[in-house]
Structure 1
Amino acid sequence: MRALRDLPSVDRLLAGPGAALAERFGRVTATDALRQALAAARTAAKDGGEVPDADTLVAAAARQLEAGSESALRPVLNLTGTVLHTNLGRALLAEAAIEAAAEAMRHPAALEYDLTTGARGERDDHVRALICELTGAEAATVVNNNAAAVLLVLNALAEGREAVVSRGELVEIGGAFRIPDIMARAGVRLVEVGTTNRTHPRDYRGAVTDRTGLMMKVHPSNYRIEGFTAAVSAPELAAIATDAGVPLMNDLGSGTLVDMTRWGLPAEPTVRQAVAEGADIVTFSGDKLLGGPQAGFIVGRADLIARINRNPLKRALRLDKIRLAAIEATLRLYRDPDRLTERLPTLRMLTRSRDDIAAQAARLLAPVAAMLPDYTVQVIDCASQIGSGALPVETLPSAGLAISGQGGDAPERLAARLRALPVPVIGRIRDGALILDLRCLPNDGALLGSLSHP
């Protein structure tokens, strides 16, 4: 039986079976892990445990190093039924965007360099013309997300002045982002008009003073007010703003560049429509319905975009070459709308038919049940949602697997088990079962491969 004095030194371990750890993880990191393994072995031995041999010590250190080397930003299977899930990263990028981003990472790029003149260039030039082509706007600029776009526009166009907004549009989105709070940070005084459910043209006209900096319209992308309601349309509000001599800003939130109804999806106002309706500035997201990387787009009148670009905040909120490359590649896909559902993952998942998803659920029923012998697995109908605030009350017919077991906490226990897999499987708990909505499952093998790990 080995005694404490038989424990090898760190140097002996590094010269022997621990050499591979030093080669893989670095000598300093491997040394620290081996020291911790030795310390744990000494403590266990003093409590009556067996003194491990060198291979056991190295294996313990390897497990620690393996766990520490895993990325915290791990890929998961999104089977929640929410396509644009904010907590799971929203839109998946098209392969063209992934390839463009990878190329930008591998090489120096003409980010702010004009290859024709040899002079300094402007980074927004890489996407400006494309954005204007697809939206019908005079000019465009882009920042790191739509919250930043709203902040920048307010600060650039109305700092020290007033912004007029309907009470029914004072939204709060995820992460406690509130329009009143962002106005305060932008140095703008909020002027609320109308009521929660009814706002009229006279409310806007009555709020205009010599202190008014802009009027703002906020698309209710993450809620819906129904019943006894009234709202001022974008064209009518644009006319009121023009008469008052102030710009109209229309924040679309989950902006889309195409009419979603062509694929049988619920209607959502397009950016081109908002521009045509007379908004002087339109803001929208890049990683929601557009299906690209996180970004905030600002389009509209050229003189106002120029003012926005001169604001010092613009530099603080600008994009790097990687995201610009991905954005450009994503926007180019919109030049061929007939093939968008093939090339854009977000649209492909949103347009999957219920029958296609149900067939996948039927195929997976038996193998999933065999992998989870302690649970009951059934095929069920589901209602998917778009997510990230887009079309909050509309759902998409879908299908999935309902997994239930013995005990009131069976769904929670299974959910925790699936989250601990090498590729975590994320579902939702409802009616005493763990629901796996298959709308966003790329193929059968992705789920079966993940579940095959103990």
Structure 2
Amino acid sequence: MKELLKRIPKVDYFLNDKDLLFLLGDKPRYLLLKAIRDVLDEVRQDILSGKKVEPEPDFLKEKIKQKLKGFLRPKLHRVINATGVVLHTNLGRAVISEEVAEYLKELITGYSNLEYDLQKGRRGLRYRNLEWILKELTGAEDVCVVNNNAGAVLLVLSALSKGKEVVVSRGELIEIGGSFRIPEVMEQSGAILKEVGTTNKTHLRDYENAISENTGLLLKVHTSNYKIMGFTASVSTEELVRLGKKYGIPVYEDLGSGSFIDVRKIGLSYEPTVQDVLKAGVDVVSFSGDKLLGGAQAGIILGKKQYLERIKKHPLNRALRIDKMTLAVLENTLVYYLDEKLAFEKVPTWRLLSQTQEEIKRKAEKLIQLLKEKNFPARISLVQDTSEVGGGALPTQQLPTWCVAVHLSPERLDEVLRGQEIPVIGRIKNNLYLLDMRTVMPSEISALSEILLKAANSVKMV
């Protein structure tokens, strides 16, 4: 053991190695130093624990290389989404277009007029950059945008109903990802929860009977991430608006994954659009910017000016405000909605959702062809299945799709693919590893074939 420990090279032996320095490039030297120390410490511990280790320089150098590569690689990096879930929360939700990305690069590598009014030559408001387009698209009187829709809900409730009762149906007391629950947000905002109706049935009279002198808000929460089926009843937005007007109480709807396009145009079941909700007369509506809208993560709040002014002046608004990158992505994505045809072409979310079966099948056949040309070492087949919208949107909708099935140990293949330089995330179903081609970009197919070949050879060798 002592002899093996003596044979471990010193740190300096590797610190000036040309190959390691070339790999390091222009990154801080500290990363190489840490990689060397970590590897030498690991080998030292292995020897002390009785493991059979030969501390040869070439062996250690290779381990240092792998460790250094891990340090040099950002922890947040691109993956190939072959799950078929278009708005995959764990994989970054909405993809932005190449055109928007190019504009973003130009914006963030220099200064910008984020809060500077170029016409007046003095400080301006960052929301002004989004006001015009959101008003044009929806007819809303005023606009406020924060960092996500959970923040939007908290801000609206804090600004409009702190210390007041908020009347909401029991069937709409939702929980979304990350244990974000409406009752808990309400408590945090200082609003008082007033539940009405039952889980499956709520009537207009339930809301009306709950109204008192301390009622501050009538809240409707769109159940965008689940559906209640069967013996059910709910109050429409229009009915709630009429009730609110009768008693002089504002109505707020949390739309969740708001859309500017009627999803029935791509063969899905009806979901209310942002325009629908505003036309119904609500005083305030909020929704996400990175779900069906297809932009950056944000909480967009629209509505009547008298309520939006209170919301914008609330101290929480500054704590939740968006940065220049979010603002730029949103503005440049929203512009496409001025021409719906362009939105389907240029907003990746809608392009992926509206793909035809023929388009998806062609991508699958291209991947299979490339794999066969590379003498892929396992059986592959074309399989019909269904995709999902994801992101808590349209939960019951199944989108017909085509997948490439790889007939290898699915668990092992999944593990190996996740460990590639460009990780691939597919899905396992019926003991098959499936690559859903709906969410694989045409530009990714060639790279995907190479990654699959490398991964399959690794699996076959085990």
Q: TM (normalized to structure 1)?
A: 0.92
1:427 aligns with 2:426: yes
Query: Structure 1 residues 332, 38: CA separation in 2 closer, same or farther (over 3 Å shift)?
Result: same
Are residues 423 and 158 of structure 1, via their aligned partners in 2, closer, same or farther at CA, if it must alter by over 3 Å?
same
CA contact (8 A) 1:151 1:183 kept: yes
Counterpart code for 1:136: G
Q: CA RMSD in A?
A: 2.4
1:52 and 2:56 equivalent? Answer: yes
Paired with 2:225 and 2:100, the residues of 1 have a C-alpha distance of: 27
Q: 1:150 to 1:52 in 2, by over 3 A?
A: same
2:198 to 183, 195, 199: 195
Counterpart of 1:108? 111
1:411 matched residue in structure 2: 410
Q: Does 1:209 align with 2:208?
A: no
* Residue of structure 2 equivalent to 1:397: 400
Q: Deviations over 1:311-367 (max 9, x none)?
A: 000000000111111111011111121122221110000001112212322333354
- Matched with 1:453 is 454
- The residue aligned with 2:157 is 154
Partner of 1:311: 314
The runs of 5 or more residues in structure 1 that have no matched partner are: none
Q: How many Å separate the matches in 1 of 2:198 and 2:43?
A: 69
CA contact (8 A) 2:370 2:446 kept: no
Q: d(CA) in 1 for partners of 2:303 and 2:158?
A: 16
For 1:448, the aligned partner's letter is S
CA deviation after TM superposition for structure 1 residue 8, in Å: 5.5
Q: Does residue 230 of structure 2 align to residue 227 of structure 1? A: yes
C-alpha change, 1:275 and 1:38, in structure 2 (3 Å) is closer
Deviation at 1:85, TM superposition (A): 0.8
User: Cα deviation per residue 1:102-160 (whole Å; 9 max; x = unaligned)?
Assistant: 22211111111111112211110110111111111100110000111011000100001
Mean Cα displacement is larger for which, 21-30 or 150-159? 21-30
Query: For residues 354 and 308 of structure 2, what CA distance do their matches in structure 1 show?
Result: 35
Give 1:44 deviation, angstroms: 7.1
Structure 2 equivalent of residue 33 of structure 1: 35
CA 1:109–1:380 in 2, change beyond 3 Å: closer, same or farther? same
CA distance in 2, matches of 1:162, 1:114: 40
| Cα offset, 1:217, TM superposition | 0.7
Aligned to 1:251: 254
Match of 2:460 in 1: none
Give the secondary-structure state (helix, strand or coil) at the position aligned to 2:194. strand
Task: Report deviation, 1:89.
Answer: 0.8
Q: CA deviation at 1:32?
A: 3.5
Structure 2 match to 1:275: 278
Distance in 2 between residues matched to 1:371 and 1:42, nearest whole Å: 42
Mark the runs of 5 or more structure 2 residues left unpaired by the alignment: 456-462
Paired amino acid for 1:309? K
Letter in 1 for 2:417: L
Q: Percent identity?
A: 43
Task: After TM superposition, give the deviation of residue 450 of structure 1 in Å.
Answer: 2.4
Match of 1:89 in 2: 92
| 1:341 equivalent in alignment to 2:340 | no
What SS does the corresponding residue of 2:454 show, helix, strand or coil?
coil
Secondary structure, counterpart of 2:56 in structure 1:
coil
C-alpha displacement of 1:43: 6.7
Q: Deviations over 1:274-331 (max 9, x none)?
A: 0010100010110000000000000000010000011000000000111111111011
Tell me how far apart the structure 2 counterparts of residues 377 and 120 of structure 1 sit (CA, whole Å).
Answer: 60
Asked whether the 8 Å contact 1:275–1:282 carries over to 2, the reply is: yes
Distance 1:379 1:51, change over 3 A: closer
Matches within 5 A, 1:162-173: 162-173=165-176
The residue aligned with 2:362 is: 359
- How far off is 1:6 after superposition? 7.2
Deviations 1:15-70 (A, max 9, x none): 453554665443333234334445556677887754524x5544432221111221
Checking the alignment, whether the CA contact within 8 Å between 1:22 and 1:31 is kept in structure 2 is no
Match of 2:327 in 1: 324
For these two proteins, the number of residue pairs brought into alignment is: 448
Find the residue that maps to 2:302 and give its secondary structure: strand
Separation in structure 1 between the aligned mates of residue 13 and residue 198 of structure 2, nearest angstrom: 77
Distance (whole Å) between structure 1 residues aligned to residue 405 and residue 356 of structure 2: 19
CA contact (8 A) 1:79 1:426 kept: yes
* TM, length-normalised to structure 2: 0.90
Q: Out of 136, 159, 164, which is 2:139 matched to? A: 136
Q: Which residue of 1 aligns with 2:291?
A: 288
- Does residue 1:440 correspond to 2:439, yes or no? yes
1:206 shift after superposition: 0.5
Distance 2:141 2:433 in 1: 49
Which residue, out of 230, 233, 236, partners 2:239? 236
Change (3 A) 1:306 1:61: same
Change in Cα spacing, 1:447 to 1:59, as seen in structure 2 (3 Å) is: closer
Q: Distance in 1 between matches of 2:67 and 2:379?
A: 35
Alpha-carbon distance between aligned partners in 2 of 1:21 and 1:449, rounded to the nearest angstrom: 23
Paired AA for residue 31 in structure 1: L
- Residue 189 (structure 2) aligned to one of 176, 183, 186: 186
For the 8 Å contact 1:79–1:440, the answer to whether it is kept is yes
CA distance in 1: counterparts of 2:40 and 2:387, whole angstroms? 51
* Separation in structure 2 between the aligned mates of residue 23 and residue 102 of structure 1, nearest angstrom: 23
Are residues 125 and 41 of structure 1, via their aligned partners in 2, closer, same or farther at CA, if it must alter by over 3 Å?
same
